[in-house]
């Protein structure tokens, strides 16, 4: 995970505001400073950034980088359900299908082919469930 505090510490001299302008904290700008002063300013920026991240964390915020967030399968999102497919005649389970929160079931061509290959007789369901 990229270190949010380390990144923030390097940006204090030129923070990008959502309105498109920049905000500058000149106290953290080490350009043209002697190395000893620049090192002290970098350290101050690192400590300030770490304190800001800590304050946000203590307030309940979670700081993550988009590269660290695993791709979420829509099935794992709230509202998505798995509906069992059950034979109306014998009651045996013959499959399952994902249902979206709006009660729709988008079917790809592969899903349509898979549905077409489901067993169509109760004897086939019995054989499938005994396999």
49: number of Cβ within 10 Å:
21
51 and 34 belong to one structural domain: yes
Between CA 103 and CA 81 the distance in angstroms is 9
Token pair for 30:
């080490």
Between CA 70 and CA 73 the distance in angstroms is 9
Question: What are the pLDDT digits (tens) for 2-18?
Answer: 688 888 888 888 888 88
φ, ψ at 15 (rounded to 5°)? -80, 135
82 is in which domain, residue-wise? 74-130
9 and 63 belong to one structural domain: yes
The structural domain count of the chain equals 2
Between CA 75 and CA 69 the distance in angstroms is 16
| pLDDT score recorded for residue 113 | 81
Residue partners of 64: CB distance under 8 A and separation at least 6: 1
85 and 107 belong to one structural domain: yes
Question: What are the pLDDT digits (tens) for 33-69?
Answer: 899 998 998 899 999 999 998 888 888 887 877 676 6
Q: End of a domain among 68, 93, 122?
A: 68
94 and 55 belong to one structural domain: no
Between CA 104 and CA 115 the distance in angstroms is 16
- Residue 71: band (very low, low, confident or very high) from pLDDT cuts 50, 70, 90: low
- Residue 125: band (very low, low, confident or very high) from pLDDT cuts 50, 70, 90: low
41 and 81 belong to one structural domain: no
């Amino acid at each position: 995970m990229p270190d949010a505090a380390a990144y923030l510490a390097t940006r204090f001299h030129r923070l990008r505001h959502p309105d498109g302008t920049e905000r500058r904290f000149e106290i953290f700008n080490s350009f043209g400073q002697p190395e000893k002063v620049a090192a002290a300013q970098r350290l101050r920026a690192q400590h300030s950034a770490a304190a800001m991240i800590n304050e946000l964390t203590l307030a309940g915020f979670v700081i993550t980088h988009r590269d660290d967030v695993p791709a979420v399968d829509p099935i794992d999102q709230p509202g998505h359900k798995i509906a069992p497919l059950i034979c109306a005649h014998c009651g045996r389970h013959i499959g399952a299908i994902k249902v979206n929160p709006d009660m729709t079931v988008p079917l790809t061509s592969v899903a349509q082919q898979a549905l077409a290959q489901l067993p169509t007789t109760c004897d086939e369901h019995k054989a499938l469930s005994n396999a």
